[in-house]
Structure 1
């Protein structure tokens, strides 16, 4: 069964919008600043998604676009200004950044409260991508429980108990994909196996009940590698002939999966929705 990421994202944004209204009654207007360096088409597309999601829930998203690569000193000074601005509650350094700059160094300047991506070790925020993974698992769990008419099981504790009994495989260890997901799974004390391009051990894939693929290349997975009725969550995205595609061919895997997320329209919208959730959290923290 295909998981409709746009529908799940809309649910999250609806809740975020309620929180935004409550904050605005207190004269607090949540705002996200996005720093974009260069003219990468994919990055520009992702920024547009954030602006659109912000408009849906009442969060202002301000874009600060450097078409030409600035010096590290110049961009660092600007980020420090954003950090000190109490009207800005979240700051994103849109990745990738030019090789002459360090995304990690720039991210450290954001600070743990405004790091709404949750990349910093002591960030107050759970990474949006990790939250998106749990949201999809919760949706799948809900669908399964609904089929057996057991409403008492629709609580967080049975969900975590179910996930702890699953063989979970995470493919990819990138700093914006695999790593934040791994951090979230660890925080929930969920056991998982982490694979990457140099350690694609097929035996783990054959036994996996849940596969989270965060590679960003074509045909990372094929039906022969999948266990029947697997849950397949596709995080990795890349452009192929001006189209966004994921880590697997959906037409090939659909019969093998109990549930799977498409690309586009799967994990991406949910990830952005939880980013907005983190902006609201930051706004509430800053204006305590």
Structure 2
């Protein structure tokens, strides 16, 4: 069993991004800019935004956080996004999800300029992903693909079971895997017999927010297991969606929680923002 060290890989990617930012600044006088919209006072969202701002500073990005009250109107959020769409210093726009219930999330995401959609959630970029064209890919699935690449895990012809069908993780993950010629099964809350699908998969990727959902008897010997889930238990511990201690001995590769997929998500956000900034040169 080999651990997939997302923390070390993410640090390597950050260093590469920082080096490219220095070149971009020196040769083209461009500093990549990321704007984040944070609505309300969700502690998890606040923590994520703080981590993203810190990461931006480390690699030399310009970043700004628009903090808005829970009671903000949809029109005010739209106006803020349109302002950032027009701001030449901003290369990437990120709306921290989830949004309050009175806000139409799809409408908000559609307002973002697809060229600044570094989260990869705009329908334009979703369409380009599904048709295997270049665009912005959601950060967490993209981070998982970088892990496969870094550890020379070949996807072609492999049976992959994706547990979870969200627009943020499950669906884009499935599209990326299909583009890599894997055979993909997507399971979700209405799947009748989850174990039947996971136990025959060469690779299991899970991200549903249910601690310990994947047990040892649900994974075959030698499988690769990617745990995207992150859950805080009552005793304060962070755990994934996989019963790690029981499952790990059966795996060829497995990601830990914390220190697995989580750091890769922010690294991919930096990478996507850098990509958007480079597109300024072509304009």
The 5 A counterparts of 1:158-169 are 162-169=154-161
**Alignment RMSD (CA, Å):** 1.5
Kept in 1, the 8 Å contact 2:155–2:177? The answer is no
Deviation at 1:243, TM superposition (A): 3.9
Kept in 2, the 8 Å contact 1:223–1:256? The answer is yes
1:188 pairs with 2:180: yes
Unaligned runs of 5+ in 2: 126-134
Deviation at 1:107, TM superposition (A): 0.9
Kept in 2, the 8 Å contact 1:140–1:259? The answer is no
CA distance in 2, matches of 1:101, 1:244: 30
In structure 1, the residue matched to 2:202 is 209
Structure 1 range deviating more: 164-173 or 236-245? 236-245
The 5 A counterparts of 1:89-104 are 89-104=91-106
Kept in 2, the 8 Å contact 1:31–1:87? The answer is yes
Q: Secondary structure at the match of 2:98?
A: coil
Kept in 2, the 8 Å contact 1:37–1:98? The answer is yes
1:153-208 alpha-carbon deviations (Å, 9 max, x no partner): xxxxxx6xx31132111010112121221232233343211111211432221111
TM-score computed with the length of structure 1 as normaliser:
0.89
Kept in 2, the 8 Å contact 1:129–1:180? The answer is no
Kept in 2, the 8 Å contact 1:177–1:236? The answer is no
Structure 1 range deviating more: 110-119 or 67-76? 67-76
Alignment match of 2:58 (pick from 33, 48, 56): 56
Change in Cα spacing, 1:186 to 1:120, as seen in structure 2 (3 Å) is farther
Count of residue correspondences: 269
In structure 1, the residue matched to 2:132 is none
CA distance in 2, matches of 1:56, 1:232: 31
Alignment match of 1:171 (pick from 158, 163, 167): 163
Structure 1 range deviating more: 24-33 or 252-261? 252-261
In structure 1, the residue matched to 2:130 is none
Q: Secondary structure at the match of 2:115?
A: coil
